[in-house]
Chain A
Amino acid sequence: MENRSPSLREKVKQLRRTFVDKLPGTLAEARRLCDLLVRVPSDDSTLDDLYRTFHSIKGTAASFGLLEISAEGAGGEQLVLQLQGLEGGSRGQQLSALLPGFQQRLERLEELWKLARQADESNSSPESPSFDLGKEGAKAASKKLFICDDDEAQAEILAAQLSCFGYGVTIFTSPDSMRAALLVAPPDAVIMDIVFPGGVNGTDVVANLHREMRAPPPVVFVSSRRDFEPRLRAVQAGGEAYFPKPVKAIELVEILDSLTLGQEPEPFRVLVVDDEPEVAAYHSFILEQVGMTTRLLHEPATILDVLAEFKPDLVLMDMYMPTCTGRDLSRLIRQVPEFISLPIVFLSSETNKVKQVSALRVGAEGFLTKPIQPEDLISAVAIRAERMRTLRSLMVRDSLTGLFNHTFMSQFLETSLASARRDDGMLCFVMIDVDHFKQVNDTYGHPAGDQVLVALARLLQQRLRNSDMVGRYGGEEFAVILQDIGTDEASRIVDDLRADFAKVRFTAGDGDFSCTFSAGIAGYPGKAQADLLLESADQALYVAKKSGRNQVQVAP
Chain B
Amino acid sequence: MKILVVDDDALAGEMTAAVLEDAGYGIVLAENAIEAMEKLNDEAGIALIVSDMNMPMVSGIDLFRDLREQGVDIPFILLTGDAPGPLKAAEPRLDDCLTKDFTLETSLIQSINAVMARRA
A and B, one complex? yes
Contact B54 A60, beta carbon cutoff 8 Å: no
- Chain A 43-64 near chain B by CB (<8 Å), digits 1 or 0: 0000011011001101110111
Contact of B54 among A7, A18, A52 (CB under 8 A): A52
Contact B12 A55, beta carbon cutoff 8 Å: no
Report if A52-B56 is in contact (Cβ < 8 Å); known contacts: A60-B100, A62-B100, A63-B102.
Answer: yes
Q: Which residue of A lies closest to B12 (CB)?
A: A60
Report if A48-B56 is in contact (Cβ < 8 Å); known contacts: A60-B11, A64-B102.
Answer: yes
Q: Which residues of B, 1-48, contact A by the 8 Å Cβ criterion?
A: 8-9, 11-12, 14-15, 18-19, 21-22
C-alpha spacing A77/B81, complex, angstroms: 11
Q: Is B101 an interface residue (CB 8 A)?
A: yes
Chain A residues whose C-beta falls within 8 Å of the C-beta of B101 in the assembled complex: 62-63, 65, 70
Q: Is A418 an interface residue (CB 8 A)?
A: no
Chain A residues whose C-beta falls within 8 Å of the C-beta of B9 in the assembled complex: 56, 59-60
Chain B residues whose C-beta falls within 8 Å of the C-beta of A52 in the assembled complex: 8, 54-56
Report if A60-B15 is in contact (Cβ < 8 Å); known contacts: A52-B56, A55-B81.
Answer: yes
Contact A15 B102, beta carbon cutoff 8 Å: no
C-alpha spacing A11/B8, complex, angstroms: 19
Q: Which residue of B lies closest to A73 (CB)?
A: B81
Chain B residues whose C-beta falls within 8 Å of the C-beta of A55 in the assembled complex: 54, 81
Q: Which residue of B lies closest to A60 (CB)?
A: B12
Contact B81 A58, beta carbon cutoff 8 Å: yes
Contact B15 A63, beta carbon cutoff 8 Å: yes
Query: Which residue, A11, A48, A74, has most C-beta atoms of chain B within 10 A?
Result: A11
Interface residues on A, range: 20 to 34
Count A-B pairs with CB separation below 8 Å: 66
Contact of A19 among B11, B18, B52, B55 (CB under 8 A): B11
Q: Is A97 an interface residue (CB 8 A)?
A: no
C-alpha spacing A18/B18, complex, angstroms: 14
Q: Which residue of B lies closest to A54 (CB)?
A: B81
Q: Is A8 an interface residue (CB 8 A)?
A: yes
Is the contact region of chain A dominated by helix, strand, or loop, or is it mixed? helix
Q: Is B115 an interface residue (CB 8 A)?
A: no
- Chain B 42-64 near chain A by CB (<8 Å), digits 1 or 0: 00000000001011100000000
Report if A62-B15 is in contact (Cβ < 8 Å); known contacts: A8-B22, A8-B105, A48-B56.
Answer: no
CB distance from A170 to the nearest CB of B (A): 21
Contact A12 B18, beta carbon cutoff 8 Å: yes
Chain B residues whose C-beta falls within 8 Å of the C-beta of A384 in the assembled complex: none
Contact of A15 among B14, B56, B105 (CB under 8 A): B14
CB distance from B14 to the nearest CB of A (A): 6
Chain B residues whose C-beta falls within 8 Å of the C-beta of A465 in the assembled complex: none
Chain B residues whose C-beta falls within 8 Å of the C-beta of A60 in the assembled complex: 9, 11-12, 15, 100
Chain B residues whose C-beta falls within 8 Å of the C-beta of A12 in the assembled complex: 15, 18-19, 105
Contact A8 B18, beta carbon cutoff 8 Å: yes
C-alpha spacing A63/B14, complex, angstroms: 11
Q: Is B87 an interface residue (CB 8 A)?
A: no
C-alpha spacing A452/B115, complex, angstroms: 71
CB distance from B109 to the nearest CB of A (A): 11
Q: Is B94 an interface residue (CB 8 A)?
A: no
CB distance from A55 to the nearest CB of B (A): 5
Q: Which residues of B, 67-101, contact A by the 8 Å Cβ criterion?
A: 79-81, 99-101
Chain A residues whose C-beta falls within 8 Å of the C-beta of B18 in the assembled complex: 8, 11-12, 15
C-alpha spacing A5/B20, complex, angstroms: 13
Contact B81 A64, beta carbon cutoff 8 Å: no
Q: Which residues of A, 95-152, contact B by the 8 Å Cβ criterion?
A: none
Chain A residues whose C-beta falls within 8 Å of the C-beta of B80 in the assembled complex: 59
Chain A residues whose C-beta falls within 8 Å of the C-beta of B104 in the assembled complex: 63
Q: Which residue of A lies closest to B81 (CB)?
A: A59
Chain A residues whose C-beta falls within 8 Å of the C-beta of B8 in the assembled complex: 52, 56
Contact A63 B12, beta carbon cutoff 8 Å: yes
Q: Which residue of B lies closest to A49 (CB)?
A: B56
Q: Is A22 an interface residue (CB 8 A)?
A: yes
Chain A residues whose C-beta falls within 8 Å of the C-beta of B52 in the assembled complex: 59
Chain A residues whose C-beta falls within 8 Å of the C-beta of B15 in the assembled complex: 12, 15, 60, 63-64
C-alpha spacing A52/B7, complex, angstroms: 12
Chain A residues whose C-beta falls within 8 Å of the C-beta of B56 in the assembled complex: 48-49, 52
10 A-B Cβ contacts within 8 A?
A5-B21, A11-B22, A15-B15, A56-B54, A59-B9, A59-B79, A60-B9, A60-B15, A63-B104, A65-B101
Mark A residues whose CB is within 8 Å of B. 5, 7-8, 11-12, 15, 18-19, 22, 48-49, 51-52, 55-56, 58-60, 62-65, 70, 74, 77
Cβ-closest 5 pairs across A and B: A59-B81, A8-B22, A65-B102, A62-B101, A59-B100
Given contact pairs A8-B105, A52-B55, A55-B81, a sample of 18 additional A-B residue pairs in the complex whose CB atoms are under 8 Å apart = A8-B21, A12-B15, A12-B19, A15-B14, A15-B18, A19-B11, A48-B56, A49-B56, A56-B12, A58-B81, A59-B81, A60-B9, A60-B12, A60-B15, A62-B99, A63-B15, A63-B104, A77-B81
